[in-house]
A and B are shown apart, each in its own frame.
Chain A
């Protein structure tokens, strides 16, 4: 081999090339190390650990035994409450996910052409409930079970009902109410992302569209606006789906745990019940793995759908 020859890619095996690149860019590894170490420890390892533990009967006290699929079999065949939880979670996610997504998108679109100052104020009005901590507890006051609750008071006063309704203790009302509260707090990150996406669209595209025969704003939305902000649509979907599935805490705060007749019992609650209270870690890990798979699956599916927008 000649010594003067410049090193080019084809001179080396793939492994050699990679090693050379790694040495050349060692500083990049130094830079990502702290983050990736913490991320691995607190995000990746818990997921992998859940999968491993879900095949055991671990209970924090005794040494775990390998039980293969027993936890999963028990979960799907022998746990009626889990089936209720699955049903509730699906109803919840199917209603809250898309509705909050469309609401975020429509509101962002509605306010897009307002003057900047007014737009900033309206943005705050819609965004505020999602960042204000426990302010959703006010729904408990609005729908309080006694006659001093605002909704009961109004209904009684107009003679629509004759006795107070125990809103958050009545299996018929718990789920719809929780969905309303979930929607109320759901204009979060995806909403901001849509606003930014809409602002970023070049106005000349609309002018060109008008010349090309786009006649109304709906056509404009479908043929120009949505395809131009597809990356934001994708990101917003991920945010909306993830939070729709992770909504358990608010339900607990408003309806107590467990909710009446398990009417608003979600997989999240079931997980908390077995993991946080009964310490059946093996079983709760199986629940976590199922929930994890459902979340990732729903995200993948929706991303496929969104990639078809405007086609």
Chain B
């Protein structure tokens, strides 16, 4: 075993020149700096006292870090016309209900498309796959017409219900089920007399945990980051992200509070990703398109 490992390592080294390693490292550092520095800058800005925010020449790093901007942000939240807790509730409520529905309906359909052969199944999946090729803003105007026909303008439904049937959710779930749930296991469950629904729930779902975690994260991020929606007019129903955007409109005095709000908004998706990264990567392993 150890001998095998050694030869393996030896061969890999054969294809790796020191110059290439150095070149790749340099490129990685340059690209990494491009990606990472703006993120650091947001955090720096959020910790700067007012005189450092407005000094010339501007400095990248903070010298006297303070949490005053965060305190200001919470003060601003308390003085808003609609209580800030309401915006937070709106975002949390739509994010959770949208995500739960998406998980349930998408995996139910994905299981049928991946594991049951039935007339029309392939066509349905191909249609969903094709819809990955265009951005949903293309249909914004006609979606608006449909929402008004349903009388859903200015209700939570307009945000939540479309989130229950996302193309990417079904696509990833179906691909993952196809490669990671063995037909033999399902067949033995069916032979034991379990119904298709029971087989789905008890046998298949526990086997695709990485996929449903991924679906949860995608759906949640999407809903969490939703800003002003064309379907929502009432201030009471608007999202946290929208309210945060309003703080920026407050001008010079609020530059620090705005940076603080950006940090708070980005913390949640980043934390969620850190916790679940390995599951997402595992799911993506089966994300490929064959044709």
- Taking Cβ atoms with an 8 Å cutoff, the residues of A that contact B are 18, 21-22, 25, 27-29, 31-32, 34-36, 38-39, 41-47, 49-50, 53, 60, 103, 106-107, 110-111, 120, 122-129, 131-135, 137-139, 141-142, 147-150, 153-154, 156-157, 184, 187, 189, 192-193, 195-197, 199-200, 203, 206-207, 209-211, 214-217, 220, 229-235, 238-239, 241-243, 245-246, 248-249, 268, 271-272, 275-276, 281, 284-285, 288, 291-292, 295-296, 299, 303, 307
Contact = CB atoms under 8 A, between A and B. Distances in A.
B248 interface: yes
Contacts, number: 318
Given A135-B39, A141-B45, A148 B56 contact: yes
B11 A32 contact: no
Closest 6 CB pairs of A and B: A231-B288, A246-B135, A132-B266, A46-B139, A35-B109, A196-B284
A288 B132 CA distance: 16
Contacts of B38: 129, 135, 138-139, 142, 184
B40 to A, nearest CB: 10
B3 interface: no
Given A125-B32, A184-B34, A193-B284, A28 B141 contact: no
A138 B262 contact: yes
A206 B196 contact: no
Nearest to B27: A110
A134 B133 contact: no
A288 to B, nearest CB: 5
A285 B146 CA distance: 14
A132 B161 CA distance: 24
Nearest to B274: A124
A126 B30 CA distance: 12
Given A234-B289, A242-B133, A281-B141, 11 more contacts: A25-B118, A25-B119, A35-B105, A107-B31, A132-B266, A184-B38, A203-B8, A206-B11, A239-B132, A242-B134, A303-B289
B57 A195 contact: no
Contact of A131 (B27, B168, B270): B270
A270 to B, nearest CB: 12
Contact of B196 (A31, A217, A233): A31
Interface of A, helix, strand, loop or mixed by DSSP: helix
Nearest to B169: A35
Interface string B126-161: 011011111111111111111000000000000001
A229 B287 CA distance: 11
Contacts of A49: 142, 145-146
Given A34-B109, A210-B15, A135 B57 contact: no
B35 A288 contact: no
A255 B272 CA distance: 31
Interface stretch (B16-24, B66-74, B78-86, B181-189): B16-24
B141 A271 contact: yes
Contact of B141 (A124, A288, A303): A288
B250 interface: no
B76 interface: no
14 contacts: A28-B118, A38-B105, A39-B127, A124-B270, A126-B32, A128-B39, A134-B227, A189-B284, A192-B284, A196-B281, A196-B282, A196-B285, A232-B284, A281-B141
A271 B200 CA distance: 42
Contacts of B87: none
Interface of B: 8, 11-12, 14-17, 20, 24, 27-28, 31-32, 34-36, 38-39, 41-42, 45, 53-58, 60, 105-106, 108-109, 111-113, 116-119, 121, 124, 127-128, 130-146, 161-162, 164-165, 167-168, 170, 195-197, 200, 221, 224-225, 227, 230, 241, 244-245, 248, 255, 258-259, 262, 265-266, 269-270, 273-274, 277-278, 280-285, 287-291
B141 A238 contact: no
Contact of B241 (A44, A107, A122, A134): A134
Label chain B's interface by main secondary structure. Answer: helix
A150 B119 CA distance: 60
B281 A199 contact: yes
A216 B273 contact: no
Most buried by B among A25, A45, A138, A154: A138
Contacts of A46: 139, 142-143, 146
B116 A231 contact: no
A288 B142 contact: yes
B128 to A, nearest CB: 6
B269 A133 contact: yes
Contact of B132 (A127, A209, A238): A238
A123 B278 CA distance: 11
B133 A295 contact: yes
B108 A138 contact: no
Contacts of B143: 42, 46
Given A27-B196, A110-B24, A150-B41, A135 B139 contact: no
A276 B41 CA distance: 34
Contacts of B274: 124
A31 B11 contact: no
A242 B168 CA distance: 12
Contact of B225 (A134, A200, A232, A233): A134
